[in-house]
A and B are shown apart, each in its own frame.
Chain A
């Protein structure tokens, strides 16, 4: 069963490269959720995030030939396009109003105190787009460091530094060793 799936995937990639929409849609379908979560945190706007994912999907398909490597490289490549689309969205002049998504106020028994939540929320809100990106990739999407690096298009050590610097803005007593 698994070998059958493994055999199908390269051909789906090939068909997508040749312009088959269904094949490409099938390939990126599992990536839409992480792509949306990345865009939503970067933009703090859920509808704009869906727009960005849609736009990035079309751009990815149009530029699929530029993808280096096989399907295993697709996630990092696609997420980097989503991140670029978010940057473009933020650059547009009409994006002058700071948008904030509705914040769910679910309280759980193991939730930290409201004060701590508020501090962290404020700190996250202060992060720039390029500071949020490595944190989302590493902590939220749980990507391995080398894939974070490929998404950011930097070396793994540079990716680690970026994660550390951004995380330090949220928690000042963080050590580099803790980002592993």
Chain B
């Protein structure tokens, strides 16, 4: 038992209560980095499509650790710490590019694309003076190499010695639902990021919270993109940390929201040009118009009609998180669907009609609980369990996240 489980106790009620100190404890943050991000979990690093050919690299993150992902001359993908064996400098100073080797700018130590140290400048000194002692082994300080697994065009990495194989970690539902979306080779159409003024876990909870979708995001509800009364479901993995929320495109139900008189049901509000924004095609052929899928700890795969994206949640401190979006289509796209994807992207991202509130909501909680470290969050929509269910008026996926979190953190 470590110092923190001795000092901090989870509320006796279990998963239906989240203690607010969890978002503001500095020592816990450091432990999360070690036990979760550098532990026995898989972190999404980048799309395979972002390493388009041999001898390319892409910067990424394992929690707040900087990482380089490469595709070597033989086409094999590797990832290693973005940290020089010598004095700890960043090795790779660019987001992406082409390179046959990586050279540290500080003292010119060189690495191949697997992260193996290949050269130490002036190792033998000059004219018999200086240089490194013969018994010094800098290779032993080399940046740690991540174990890589690629599934459906998604590159995952781990530093955990005991991380289960990726498909086992994902679980059968996630394997199927990821393959469903990644139906052809991906093609990146662009990206951007949001700096969210909150602890990383607040954003993750927001994504798993299917209950808020039509209540905070009025756009969604009014245009019937994801009313909770539409047919669909909530799938939570056995360990709890992975979830899928989905709904069909048909609007089956009637006026449940209007009758409840909720803010979000404003029938007087109509778009002038809804078709230009919302026109879509059933490219997956199964009538599922929305699927939000998460993998513990910080990966999101989004399908909103034809608007597809991966999101990486990167902690940058106790109350600061970078949410990195990469939107994609497929190499098989024609001009028509390519245009639909660009229009529907108005729905997502920092200016998104249905996502702009999420970053702010996480920030509101971080600020709201500033003086309430010993108080607790109430998470009882849908009961107290973490099982999959048909109703999305449920916080089961949020409880599932905490179940998995507690297991990794030893609570």
**Does B bind A?**
no
